[in-house]
Amino acid sequence: MSVAFLGTLCLILVLTTLAGNFANRVGVPAVIGELLIGILIGPALLNWVQLNSLVNLFADIGVVILMFLGGLESNLELLMKYLRPAIVVATLGVIFPIALMGAASWWWGFSALESLFIGVIFSATSVSISVAVLKEFHALSTREGATILGAAVADDIMGVVLLSLMISLLASQGIKAAGSQPNLAVVLIEQVAFFGGTYILVKWVAPYLMHLSERLVMASSVTIMSMVICLGMAWLADIVGLSGAIGAFFAGIAVAHTPYRAVLADHVEPLGNAIFIPVFFVSVGLNMTLNHMAENVGIIVILTILACLTKLLGCGLGARLCGFSWTSSSVIGTGMIARGEMGLITAQIGHQAGLLGNASYSAMILVIVLATVLAPLLLKQTLKRMPKAAAVATTE
């Protein structure tokens, strides 16, 4: 590890602590302060810190721990109960961005293929930041929280399928995408196997491993075993083409169904919040640059508004069709606004393939970051409108 990185890490931790404190005092989610620190010290403004392999590594561990904690606080029965609404929410939340943002891009002057690609970039949701806000409001174990988490899993699968189809379409147009072209059938088989293995993990493997760890004569053996399960599931999810965050989320659910849930929450949460999770939030802001902003300010504004509206309307409509109230539907819609790793990966593939030029690529990254910064603010406002009685989840 570069010693210089220790200074960078120290700077990030000091500034995110101060920003989180200030944000909480003025009634804004702490995650907003941490995101803004990334924009402040990153290439967009002061350029003190750049995204490098070490920052990316700590950020990846941060999102894995955050989603593991989300799984720990989730109710599996509630997730299964709201599986159908989650699929409807995810489906409409993918269709709306592809249709509306694709149409807006085409109207602005992008080619049909570029417009379709831009729609696919913004079809994916990153629920990690929403999880942080839901945790802050103690709303993870609600029917709205369960629907958001379930929709995020379905959304991630759809994102992988769409990315595979786009790479195939690029190849058919004679455009060479970077990396090897995934075989869609193989990817889907691997993902089915992954979810089958997840069921086995939740039912038998995790309880056995956690019980075994308690018998080991080793300090923090239970916590270590939980992290082995968490990191192992994240690694396996990445291998089959899913986000590692999804694997970590199911690892959290698996461990939550053992007698060690409370102990692990007390041990893992301080570890994540002390180092890794702040770096993850800062890394989102570090993606932002102001290159080519002046020449693309119009499309940036249009796409940022549509990035928020398409998820709010698409996912909110899906929730409403499944019987949720207007208030609950707006919570679910805003909970799906944030974009993240899948959008960044898709944009990068388009850039490396030459489909998106430097100016267009910078604009897409900026829109992803802006939508991600706006998402927690919008989610907080909708959560505050929810009646407390309605926020309490039931599994009857």
* pLDDT given at position 201: 92
Please tell me the distance from the alpha carbon of residue 341 to that of residue 205, in angstroms, as a whole number.
29
* Cα dihedral 382, 384, 132, 393 sign: negative
* pLDDT confidence of residue 353: 80
CATH 1.20.1530.20 fits 3-384, yes or no: yes
Cβ-based neighbour number of residue 166 at 10 Å: 22
Mean pLDDT by 10 residues, the chain (396 residues): 87 96 88 92 93 93 93 86 94 96 96 94 88 88 93 87 80 65 74 91 93 90 95 93 88 92 90 93 89 87 96 97 95 92 82 85 92 92 77 41
> Helical H runs in 179-292?
184-200, 206-214, 221-239, 244-256, 261-271, 277-286
From the list 151, 134, 18, the residue with the least C-alpha distance to 70 is 134
Question: CA 181, CA 164: separation in Å to the nearest integer?
Answer: 7
Res 173: pLDDT: 73
Q: Residue 156 is encoded by which pair of tokens?
A: 């991630």
116: DSSP letter:
H
> What is the structure's pLDDT at 1?
58
In this prediction the pTM is 0.86
Residue 51 has, within 13 A of its CA and on its CB side, a CA count of 18
Report the first-to-last Cα separation within the chain, whole angstroms.
51
Domain positions in the chain are 3-384
